[in-house]
Structure 1
Amino acid sequence: MARYINADDRALILDALAKYCWGYDEGDFDMLADAFTEDATTGGTVTHTDIGWGPVVGRAEIVAVLSGIRRSQTDQRRHIISTGRFEEQTPTTAKLSIYIVVLASKDGETRVATAGRYLIEAVKETDGEWRIRRLDAILDSAF
């Protein structure tokens, strides 16, 4: 079976993920909202614990929950994404896994807040934009 690979689409999918990360870190919740489909879902777990959240369903609810969390944090967060692996890709859908490291800086000190991976389902919408339909976080430690 032939595997569909389109490097331009992959770059645009990673850009959608970057909108999520930058939007959260910079408090730009319009940018963060643009990363998700209207009916998106997100949630997560912390490995080897009972800690979990979600599902949070719908773009508006995702933005409301994430903006509330971000506004409660007194440090500066920086999401670092790397080592992405596309597991499936068609002209309009994609599934990928990508490693995440979240840094937290405050009072001149920077620490690793958490690390883990994101499992992502993305879709190319009718406007031609790639957006995240599902984002699940599997974290190595609580943040």
Structure 2
Amino acid sequence: MPEAPMTARAEIENTLGRAAWGYDENDVDLIAAQFTETATMTMQIGRDGDTIGPFDGREAIHKLHADSLAAQTDQRRHNISNLVIVKETADSASTTSNLTLLSVEGGAIRVLSSGWYRDELVKQGDTWLIASRHIYLDLPY
């Protein structure tokens, strides 16, 4: 039986995981490094919420995360699950994944929000990077 071709799933998962880990560990450089130089990011909170952004370019995305982290007093944990690779070519991929956002503070843990990511990734050299990200949150936090 012929072997199935390898996909880039593990590499894509690592890119998405590093972006989440960077936020959780207050490492905005790690977050930004997961995006292309020309990446765009938007966000929507609630079905009727307005679109926030776009944040255009790695530098703007870096600033957004730095400002958000500077305003926090809690420890965030971004849990990404149910990753689906909707489309994949040799150098691009479209994904959706669920997000559960937890907060740890004062000896307690609570769910801040749930939602999802829609990401467009591109392969640059040997590295998969996020070219476009839309974040949807069910509730504000």
Structure 2 equivalent of residue 141 of structure 1: 139
Structure 2 equivalent of residue 46 of structure 1: 45
TM-fit CA distance, 1:33? 1.4
The 3-state SS of whatever aligns with 1:102 is strand
Aligned residue pairs: how many? 138
- Contact 1:25 1:77 survives alignment (8 Å): yes
TM-fit CA distance, 1:53? 1.2
Structure 2 equivalent of residue 73 of structure 1: 72
- How is 1:1-143 mapped onto 2 (pairs within 5 angstroms)? 6-7=6-7, 9-125=8-124, 127-143=125-141
Cα deviations across residues 81-115 of structure 1 (Å, max 9, x unaligned)?
Answer: 00111110000000010000010010001111110
The 3-state SS of whatever aligns with 1:27 is coil
The 3-state SS of whatever aligns with 1:62 is helix
Give the stretch that moved more between structures: 60-69 or 44-53: 44-53
Cα distance in 1, alignment partners of residues 49 and 135 from structure 2:
14
Q: Which amino acid aligns with 2:137?
A: L
Sequence identity (%): 34
TM-fit CA distance, 1:51? 4.5
After superposition, the Cα gap between the structure-2 partners of 1:6 and 1:94, relative to the gap in structure 1 and judged at 3 Å, is: farther
- Contact 1:24 1:67 survives alignment (8 Å): no
The 3-state SS of whatever aligns with 1:142 is coil
Cα distance in 2, alignment partners of residues 50 and 94 from structure 1:
27
Q: CA RMSD in A?
A: 1.5
TM-fit CA distance, 1:49? 3.4
Return 5+ residue gaps in structure 2 as ranges. Answer: none
Cα distance in 2, alignment partners of residues 43 and 112 from structure 1:
22
